[in-house]
């Protein structure tokens, strides 16, 4: 834990040295906490809390200036009081990326760590089925609307769990509404998205592409009595359309299997069937120079055995060189991390 805190502090110092004149934000929020499993909905609860963030503006290539304006990076610390929560109150610290999508609208995404005041207490069960460890991951995404230069309102969706590193652990989800006050190096609304696009020369960009990727990685069993890791494999075929050089959206199909299900499963009609999954997802991808961030969500269409959560998510970061790219992604079911996959792909 001390190493993690030291790393985040060193990263903060690096941010301060690179980007000048930060802008600050203080927020009050109210929301609702939900469990991943509907059978435990009796533990759902209202929440309220506050957060503070610091952001530094950046400069970049003319693609961003023309289509999105330059993004901002920084940190956000948060606290949520959760009455009747099985895990207590939540603290959070995330690294944040913010970018404009319209004159008054800003998208926000944060990834980091969370902690709970009572992570093991639930109806006398010392192996809390929701949060099984003090330190957990935290994913925080939302969109904000600027009322004026200083005030903004935002809607945010959060997920927190430890990816089953400590088991059992099903994770908790939050939906929150915020009202924020911005100060420091505040950007004026009149200065956002008013640059004449015709004055920025950018080369033509491709309008669409096909792609194929192969991924391999490790999976951890959801059964808390099993401590082993298993191999996993995934072949992805996708198509996406570019709306600008820095953003694309589309869809993909996946043929994959989870190594913990290596033993063939017996069914009524057939003696055995290999544990192959077939699934599809909608996806989007953001580019920042050679780096891209990709996210997708979709249903599991076909599988040889029963699964309790028939949809999955993937979030990954990739490095692009020529028509090839490499990267790493998290593959999850219902917000619960299933495995980490390392990817190599080709764009056509």
User: Measured between alpha carbons, how far is residue 319 from residues 139, 214, 293, 329 in Å?
Assistant: 22, 15, 9, 12
The number of CA neighbours under 13 Å toward the Cβ of 70 is 13
Question: CB–CB of 253/240 below 8 Å?
Answer: no
Q: Are 236 and 213 in contact (CB under 8 A)?
A: yes
- Report which of 76, 72, 75 is spatially closest to residue 57, judged by C-alpha positions: 72
Overall fold of domain 20-197 = Porin (2.40.160)
The domain made up of 208-347 has a fold known as Porin (2.40.160)
Number of H helices, E strands in the chain: 2, 16
pLDDT of residue 184: 84
Q: Is 193 helix (H, G, I), strand (E, B) or coil?
A: coil
Q: Within 10 Å of residue 332's Cβ, how many Cβ atoms?
A: 22
pLDDT attached to residue 49: 96
Q: How far from chain centre, in Å, is Cα 192?
A: 26
pLDDT value for 288: 78
Cβ neighbours around 158 below 10 Å, total: 24
CA gap 206, 197 in Å, rounded = 18
Q: Which two tokens stand for residue 224?
A: 């808390």
Q: Which pLDDT score, from 0 to 100, does residue 182 have?
A: 92
Nearest to 87 by CA among 16, 2, 170, 197: 170
Enclosing H/E stretch for 342: strand 336-347
Residues of the chain with CATH 2.40.160.20: 20-197
pLDDT tens track, the chain, 348 positions:
455 545 555 555 454 444 457 889 999 999 999 887 777 788 889 999 999 999 987 766 666 666 667 778 889 999 999 987 878 899 999 988 888 877 788 989 888 889 998 887 655 555 567 787 788 888 899 999 999 989 999 999 998 887 666 666 778 899 999 999 998 877 777 776 665 555 555 556 788 999 999 998 877 665 555 566 778 889 999 999 998 788 899 999 999 877 666 555 444 454 555 667 889 999 999 887 788 889 899 998 887 766 667 888 888 889 998 899 999 888 877 666 677 888 999 999
Q: Which two tokens stand for residue 33?
A: 């906490």
Residue 3 is predicted with a pLDDT of 53
At residue 316's C-alpha, the angle toward residues 310 and 318, to 5°, is 145
């Amino acid at each position: 834990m001390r190493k993690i805190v030291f790393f985040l502090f060193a990263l903060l110092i690096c941010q301060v040295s690179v980007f000048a004149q930060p802008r600050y934000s203080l927020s009050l929020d109210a929301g609702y906490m939900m469990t991943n499993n509907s059978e435990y909905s009796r533990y759902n609860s209202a929440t309220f809390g506050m957060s503070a963030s610091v952001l530094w503006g950046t400069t970049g290539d003319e693609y961003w200036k023309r289509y999105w304006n330059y993004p901002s990076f920084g940190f956000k610390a948060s606290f949520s009081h959760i009455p009747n929560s099985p895990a207590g109150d939540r603290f959070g610290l995330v690294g944040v990326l913010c970018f404009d999508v319209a004159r008054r609208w800003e998208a926000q995404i944060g990834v980091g760590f969370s902690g709970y005041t009572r992570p093991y207490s639930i109806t006398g069960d010392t192996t809390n089925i929701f949060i099984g460890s003090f330190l957990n991951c935290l994913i925080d995404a939302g969109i904000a609307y600027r009322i004026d230069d200083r005030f903004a309102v935002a809607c945010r969706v959060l997920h927190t769990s430890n990816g089953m590193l400590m088991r059992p652990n099903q994770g908790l989800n939050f939906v929150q509404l915020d009202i924020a006050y911005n100060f420091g190096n505040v950007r004026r609304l009149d200065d956002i998205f008013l640059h004449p696009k015709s004055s920025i020369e950018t080369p033509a960009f491709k309008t669409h592409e096909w792609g194929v990727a192969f991924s391999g990685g490790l999976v951890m069993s959801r059964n808390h009595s099993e401590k082993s890791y298993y191999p996993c494999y995934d072949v992805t075929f996708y198509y996406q359309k570019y709306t600008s050089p820095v953003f694309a959206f589309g869809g993909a199909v996946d043929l994959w299997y989870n190594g913990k299900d290596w033993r063939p499963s017996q069914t009524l009609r057939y003696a055995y069937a290999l544990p192959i999954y077939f699934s599809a997802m909608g996806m989007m991808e953001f580019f920042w120079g050679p780096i891209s961030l990709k996210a997708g969500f979709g249903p599991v269409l076909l599988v040889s055995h029963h699964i309790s959560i028939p949809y999955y998510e993937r979030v990954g970061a990739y490095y692009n060189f020529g028509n090839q790219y490499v990267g790493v992604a998290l593959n999850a079911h219902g917000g619960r991390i299933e495995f980490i996959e390392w990817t190599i792909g080709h764009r056509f």
